[in-house]
Amino acid sequence: MATGTERTIGQLVADATHDLEGIVRGEIALAKAEVTTGAKVVGKGVGLLAGAGFFALMGLVFVLHGLSWVIAEWLPVWAGYLIVAVLVLLVAGVLGLLGKKALETARPAPERAIDQGKQTIETLKGHGSAS
């Protein structure tokens, strides 16, 4: 017994689709708000870390300057600065070589995610391989 107020399946599907679109839009808006808030906090943190790095660098300059003058108690001042400069350049060289080695072994592309995406596309096309 159908009353005149019953809705068709097409109307129900249309309403469900409309509701689902609203939910998805709401989730996207929430994600945008969370990312924006998170980005502000990250920006503040990066700024503070940059300031700390700058002052640490300035402190290192003064420590190295002082070390040069300590060495100058036994050798000429130029020799103290030369010794400190050579030590600093050796540390820079070692760090540079370690950094180069790390970059050579790095894999910046998300290879597993790309492979998984390709497998998903193949499966959806109906050409999935039996792995």
Q: Indicate the domain borders of the chain.
A: 15-106
Placement of tokens 């039996």 in the chain? 130
pLDDT tens per residue across span 74-85: 999 999 999 999
* pTM tops 0.95: no
Our CA angle for 60, 44, 62, nearest 5°, is 10
Q: What is the pLDDT of residues 6-49, one digit of tens each?
A: 878 888 888 888 887 888 788 887 778 777 877 788 888 888 99
Residues 9, 14, 15, 20, CA torsion sign: positive
Q: At 20, is the secondary structure helix, strand, or coil?
A: helix
Q: How many Å apart are CA 32 and CA 24, to the nearest integer?
A: 12
| Better-predicted residue by pLDDT, 129 or 89 | 89
* Strand ranges for the chain from DSSP E: none
Given a contact cutoff of 8 angstroms between Cβ atoms, the answer to whether 77 and 53 are in contact is: no
H or E element in which residue 120 lies = helix 111-125
Using CA atoms, how far apart are residues 69 and 38, in angstroms rounded to an integer? Answer: 47
- Long-range contacts: 47-52, Cβ < 8 Å, 24+? none
